[in-house]
Amino acid sequence: MDCGMQGTPDGERNYLDFGNLSQYLLGGKQTDATRIQNPQCHHMGEDNPPPNISCRYFTYSTEFIIWARKCPKKPHYFNYDLMKLLNENKQMTDVWRLPAIARWEKSQGKHPTQKPLALLVRIILASTRHGAWILDPFSGSGTTGIAASLTGRRYLGIEREKEYLDLSIRRRVELENGSIVKSYRKKIRDIVIADGEPEEADIFGVTDENRIQDLPF
């Protein structure tokens, strides 16, 4: 996922990638063109990690998120104050305990590697400004796009599998219903907390009743 692309050669650009630690240790993810900021660890549901189908390894209950950027010499954007607010006014750590994917997130269909909406919301809030462009070159079920819409960002997704492209479209069409948008936002803790603070009340750009249909994705 490419977050915060400003559309200029020297514009701020953050990259996020998902996987287990061995992929990054053995795969040489860092290059001369990108600088890894720091990895985050996502704990995949407190008591309900996905099963290991092969039954030959320990079950993965964590997933590493690599945060890197295109221009190492340019200051990057990090919403420190909001992240602290979301963590009970303590500095946000690099281990996130977020709920597993809920059933309502799969109401339009399933994807084998779908990410929790709450996870993408936090990533986007932490690393992008309101109105920023977000590119997901492997969009899958479109979770990044849904999170972008719910947080007032603009989104471009790329997906080669028609089945999952159609799934993304169905999920996006859901957001034409203002009541569904409000329902989804109330189910995501980070959005609820941010909405409760006067200085963050308009951070998502969809709090005004008249603008609820004017979503970027």
Q: Long-range contacts of range 54-58, CB-CB < 8 Å, 24 or more positions apart?
A: none
Give the confidence band of 60 by pLDDT, cuts at 50, 70, 90. confident
Q: How many residues does the chain have?
A: 217
pLDDT at 123 over 90: yes
Cα–chain center distance at 184:
15
**What does DSSP assign to residue 100?**
P
- CATH 3.40.50.150 matches 16-26+39-195: yes
Structural domain spans, the chain:
16-26+39-195
- Residue 213 has a pLDDT of 42
Give the tens place of pLDDT for each residue, 128-175.
999 999 999 999 999 999 999 999 999 999 999 999 999 999 999 999
Contact 196, 82 (CB under 8 A): no
Residue recorded with tokens 């919403």? 79
Contact 145, 157 (CB under 8 A): yes
Contact 89, 38 (CB under 8 A): no
Give the tens place of pLDDT for each residue, 14-33.
666 555 554 555 455 555 45
Return the beta strands (E) in 85-195 as ranges.
95-98, 133-136, 154-157
